[in-house]
Amino acid sequence: MTRTGRGGAGRSEDEAPAGAAAPGGGTAPRRNGTPGSGGVPGEGGGAGTGWGAGTDWDAVAPGFDAGADHGLRDPAVRDAWAGRLTAWLPAAPADVLDLGCGTGSLALLAARAGHRVTASDRSAAMLAEARAKLAGTGTRLVRADAAHPPFAPRSFDVVLVRHLLWLFADPAAVLRRWCALLRPGGRLVLVEGRWKDAGLPLAEVTALLAPLTERLHTEPLSGDADLWGGPVGDERYAVVASPAPPRRHSEIVDVHLFLRRGDEVLLARRANTGYADGLWHAPSGHVEEGEDVRTAVLREAYEETGLRLTPEDVRVALVMQHAAPSGGSRIGWFFEAVHPAGGEPRNAEPHKCDALEWFPLDALPDGLVAYCAAGLDAYRAGDRFVLHRHAPDDPVARVAGVPGRAVVLRESGER
């Protein structure tokens, strides 16, 4: 049986038949080999055990706690781990998820410290051992795949994982999933190591965590013989990581003016800007700090065309959320005004625009910016709320044969 975090198909323990072998599949192992010498490090295997990525953990479970740091039967070893957990976990009570919990020794320490613990493992036999050990503690036991934990995002204050990350083919993806389980201010606690040709060095783990975390604390564990029931000569360590808070989504807001003269609309051809040069676009620009959208469109109209429009001259035509091929998104407010409001338009920014011309709405020029073209299509159709999201390989210009990408949103009251 391939070990994938001793997790299976995400079933709850109540659904798993007692003594059944863990279901196959899941994430392919990243490292093979037998971890370490001079002790049995966590769930990763140990000297002389032959344990590794292909171990049948149901078969191993009955004797698993013979390892000093597995069963924690020696009071000195148990106290050493309890002291570390006290430092790594927040004040009780906190919601703690122990992934790849094995026979539940660390989960038991966390429960005795007053935490609300969920213990998860792929192996039914391991969970049977854990159930007996954790009886009466209120710990929830779940049979599941640690690579794809079946828990809602932001469900836990702590995700605790010991000697498990090294077994996954894509540890970066697994770490992202584990971090997603944490509430704001939560902690990911990893105990890992490097044993001969197996495991993960600390530098690799911290590099994987760097883009996911706001704070990172590491502790060497090799020198604490009490943790392992004796001296060890390989690399063992803990990492306590606080994921970066989710970044609040923000978007540019821009404004566009459809200036009408009968059945015609005014368009400008961009030049010397570095973006969409040579393409036609309606007069437009970004909303500046402190502006509302109406003030912004009046300002842009004056800066680009010399028009002195008043608030009474403009009406909202539509609103569009747009995403560029690069993925950057913005909200566009499209306004309508009718010539000769504000005066006669002129090219007021010749350094950014090399032409200003009227075009029939039903005979628009080739070489339109696709964003603007989608706005004009919606305007002609009377659509008021539109999504327009480019695919990554789409051109900036409207090109025949490329899908338009616009999706019209239904308005309240529509049937």
**DSSP annotation string for 93-124:** S-EEEEET-TTSHHHHHHHHTT-EEEEEES-H
What confidence score (pLDDT) does residue 48 get? 38
Quickly state the pLDDT bin for 374 (edges 50, 70, 90). very high
Show the tokens assigned to 223: 């020198």
Find out whether 323 and 388 touch, Cβ atoms under 8 Å: yes
Answer left, alpha or beta for residue 133, where phi above 0 means left and psi between -120 and 50 means alpha.
alpha
pLDDT in tens, 318-356: 999 999 988 889 999 999 999 999 999 999 999 999 999
d(C-alpha 136, C-alpha 130), whole Å: 12
Owner of token pair 């002291």: 83
What confidence score (pLDDT) does residue 400 get? 85
pLDDT in tens, 124-180: 999 999 999 999 999 999 999 999 999 999 999 999 999 999 888 899 999 999 999
Show the tokens assigned to 378: 């919606």
Query: Helix, strand, or coil here: 143?
Result: strand
- Please state whether the peptide bond connecting residue 246 to the residue before it is cis, i.e. omega within 30 degrees of 0: no
Whole-prediction pTM value?
0.56
List C-alpha distances in Å: 118 to 108, 121, 137, 337, 375. 10, 10, 11, 62, 51
The conformation of residue 389, written as its DSSP 8-state character, comes to: E
The conformation of residue 273, written as its DSSP 8-state character, comes to: S
d(C-alpha 82, C-alpha 102), whole Å: 17
In the predicted structure, residue 243 carries a pLDDT above the cut 90? no
Show the tokens assigned to 147: 């690579």
Nearest to 221, CA basis, from 150, 162, 268: 162
Kind of pairing, strands 156-162 and 182-195? parallel
Per the prediction, the chain carries an average pLDDT of 86
